[in-house]
């Protein structure tokens, strides 16, 4: 119930146009990409602040421990935010894909199996690597922010 509400899908199943679903899919992908960029920036920012405290300590052993804790916290939030993006994207995509497939197979293209599959593929409703690569990278980006922040620290 939450996913159709968030995507503002109409309650009456017969009033949805496949092109509206295509627009919703495109907007969902845009939201995930923007959210991912903001979350990566947040994790990097937090990591830099946490690592900043290590630079104030003169003892190298303590500095290493503080940097390890900072990395652990950053990695934790990277994993947590990646899971949030995954939970937001995957069920929504599956719902939109199923709905589009249902509308296409019952509509004009129902007799043309190849035409229906081609339409779904062209409008981003298939789970092929070419259609989902950018979203996979966007979803996994927060988990990569901790190692990136460690690399930035070395600069």
pLDDT digits (tens, 9 = 90+) for 43-53: 999 998 998 88
* Helices and strands (H, E) in the chain, number of each type: 5, 0
Per-residue confidence band for 150, with pLDDT thresholds at 50, 70 and 90:
confident
Max distance between CA atoms of the chain, in angstroms, equals 74
* Residue 4 predicted with pLDDT over 80: no
Per-residue pLDDT, averaged over 48-63, amounts to 90
* Distance from C-alpha of 119 to C-alpha of 115, rounded to nearest angstrom: 6
What are phi and psi for residue 123, nearest 5 degrees?
-100, 15
pTM score, two decimals?
0.78
Question: What's the mean per-residue pLDDT of the chain?
Answer: 83
Give the tens place of pLDDT for each residue, 83-116: 999 999 998 888 888 888 888 877 665 556 567 7
* Distance from C-alpha of 65 to C-alpha of 50, rounded to nearest angstrom: 12
């Amino acid at each position: 119930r939450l996913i159709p509400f968030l995507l503002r899908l109409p309650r009456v199943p017969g009033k949805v146009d496949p092109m509206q679903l295509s627009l919703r899919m495109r907007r969902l992908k845009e939201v995930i990409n923007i959210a991912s960029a903001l979350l990566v920036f947040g994790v990097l920012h937090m990591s830099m602040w946490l690592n900043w405290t290590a630079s104030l300590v003169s003892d190298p052993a303590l500095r290493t421990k503080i940097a390890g804790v900072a990395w652990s916290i950053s990695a934790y939030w990277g994993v947590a935010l990646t899971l949030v993006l995954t939970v937001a994207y995957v069920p929504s995509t599956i719902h939109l894909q199923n709905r589009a497939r249902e509308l296409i197979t019952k509509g004009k293209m129902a007799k043309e199996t190849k035409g229906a599959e081609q339409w779904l593929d062209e409008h981003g409703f298939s789970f092929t690597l070419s259609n989902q690569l950018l979203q996979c990278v966007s979803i996994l980006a927060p988990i990569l922010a901790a190692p990136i922040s460690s690399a930035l620290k070395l600069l």
